[in-house]
Amino acid sequence: MKIKASCILCLIVLAGLFVFCGCKKRIQTEEKEITPIIVGFSQIGSESAWRTCNTQSMKEAAAVEDIQLVYANAEQKQENQIKAIRSFIVYQVDVIVFVPIVQDGWDNVLREAKEAGIPVLVIDRSIRTSDESLYAGYLGSDHTEEGRKAARFLQRKFSRVQRPLNILEIRGTDGSSAADGRYEGFREIINKDSRFKIIHSESGDFLRSRGKEIVERILSVNGKLQIDGQPIDIIFSHNDSMTLGFLDVLEEHRIRSGKDVTIVSVDAEQEAINALKEKKINCVVECNPKLGPQTMNLVKTVYNKYEIPRVTSVDETVFTEYDNLSAITPRGY
Ligand code: GZL
């Protein structure tokens, strides 16, 4: 028995678990009442400007398509995502969309969704599963390619330098496809060039505060940007939030970011683009957060029982100090 949208609204409000987005509009026709598609959306949290933009894109696209979005913020906890998906199953939403905070641990709850006959879309980050039939398809970036782009910039920038080049890597959330992909793609290229050496790699969990803490701790040893006496020539940071967290710390120690140390970051939020224009960052690999319109198109396709591609990619570029920075067109968030 399908619970009507109005009942879902009551349950959701009662449960206090979710935010019910999108106008509850019934379209009256001569034959019958048409109720909109109801999507259960489990989002990781709000850890970065990228995430905030991603959520906004989803909500706006749902409103444009008259899709009712049941939004659940997991506040960075996988167990909250699993609870939310289970609740979506109870409410019998039409489609489940989720951003898996990490790649593993989803099979059981996705099996429950499959048994309930609810199609699942994975967006932004991907999952590892033993049974590909547990979800309809993935929409998002190629994070491994993003890591390769970061490394290729360094090859270009240091093409004429023959001395050793030491790298500090500040990773995103370990176990997430975003961080693991960037980690692997970066090494696939950089490990082919003996001049480059990753002398330290540490997770900052995509958080601004952690990016700041990591560099503060390194500098607290002797005020110099070095690890065990080895100078750090390059910082590769897996997202702009962590990068922006440490830029001020470098400045406080009179270290000229973008000059004394080369900075490569990922996302391309406006604050990082501004730093690129101020030559405080040397390269920003774009990761596109505006997945809403493509997601809603895929939602309508699976709702109407059509197949979707296993992987739908998104367009994204890379911005570097070699660009005409007055002419670049970041996504402005
Ligand atoms: C990447 C996305 C990452 C961003 C971070 O697709 O999952 O999560 O790079 C965000 O800013 O926190």
Is the distance from the beta carbon of residue 267 to the nearest atom of ligand 1 less than 6 Å? yes
**CA dist., res. 294 & res. 140, Å (int):** 10
Helix, strand, or coil here: 9? helix
Is the distance from the beta carbon of residue 288 to the nearest atom of ligand 1 less than 6 Å? no
Is the distance from the beta carbon of residue 287 to the nearest atom of ligand 1 less than 6 Å? yes
Q: Write down the mean pLDDT value for the chain.
A: 93
- Residues 93-116: tens digit of each pLDDT: 999 999 999 999 999 999 999 999
Phi and psi of 283, rounded to 5°?
-155, 135
Task: Read off the pLDDT band of 275 (50, 70, 90).
Answer: very high
pLDDT (average), residues 117-142? 97
Instruction: Return the residue whose CA atom lies nearest to atom 2 of ligand 1.
Output: 178
Question: Pick the residue with more confidence: 26 or 109?
Answer: 109
Query: Per residue in 245-264, is it b (16+ CB within 10 Å) or e — as a string?
Result: bbbebbeeeebebbeebbbb
CA of 156 to the centre of ligand 1 (A): 25
Is the distance from the beta carbon of residue 101 to the nearest atom of ligand 1 less than 6 Å? no
Which DSSP string do the residues of 164-233 spell out, in sequence order?
-EEEEEEE-STTSHHHHHHHHHHHHHHTT-TTEEEEEEEE-TT-HHHHHHHHHHHHHHHSSSEETTEEP-
pLDDT score for 31: 59
Mutation to probe ligand 1, out of 42, 48, 73, 243 (largest number of atoms < 8 A from CB): 48
Mutation to probe ligand 1, out of 267, 286, 294, 316 (largest number of atoms < 8 A from CB): 267
**Does 260 score more than 90 pLDDT?**
yes
Residue percentage of the chain with pLDDT more than 90: 89
- Residues 170-193: tens digit of each pLDDT: 999 999 999 999 999 999 999 999
Is the distance from the beta carbon of residue 291 to the nearest atom of ligand 1 less than 6 Å? no
**CA dist., res. 194 & res. 301, Å (int):** 48
pLDDT score for 35: 81
Residue percentage of the chain with pLDDT more than 70: 90
- Residues 221-241: tens digit of each pLDDT: 999 999 999 999 999 999 999
Kindly report the pTM of this predicted structure. Answer: 0.92
Is the distance from the beta carbon of residue 138 to the nearest atom of ligand 1 less than 6 Å? no
Is the distance from the beta carbon of residue 142 to the nearest atom of ligand 1 less than 6 Å? no
pLDDT score for 10: 45
**CA dist., res. 265 & res. 259, Å (int):** 15
Is the distance from the beta carbon of residue 48 to the nearest atom of ligand 1 less than 6 Å? yes
**Does 23 score more than 80 pLDDT?**
no
CA of 108 to the centre of ligand 1 (A): 25
pLDDT score for 34: 75
Q: Which residue has the tokens 């040893």?
A: 221
pLDDT score for 15: 47
Which domains can be identified in the chain, with CATH numbers? 36-140+289-315 (3.40.50.2300), 143-287 (3.40.50.2300)
**Residue 289 CA, closest ligand 1 atom number:** 6
pLDDT score for 13: 42
Phi and psi of 165, rounded to 5°?
-125, 110
pLDDT score for 178: 98
Mutation to probe ligand 1, out of 47, 50, 271 (largest number of atoms < 8 A from CB): 50
- Residues 35-85: tens digit of each pLDDT: 899 999 999 999 999 999 999 999 999 999 999 999 999 999 999 999 999
Is the distance from the beta carbon of residue 178 to the nearest atom of ligand 1 less than 6 Å? yes
**Does 22 score more than 80 pLDDT?**
no
Is the distance from the beta carbon of residue 51 to the nearest atom of ligand 1 less than 6 Å? yes
CA of 293 to the centre of ligand 1 (A): 18
Q: Is 288 left (phi over 0), alpha (psi -120 to 50) or beta?
A: beta
Question: Pick the residue with more confidence: 13 or 306?
Answer: 306
Instruction: Return the residue whose CA atom lies nearest to atom 3 of ligand 1.
Output: 178
Is the distance from the beta carbon of residue 53 to the nearest atom of ligand 1 less than 6 Å? no
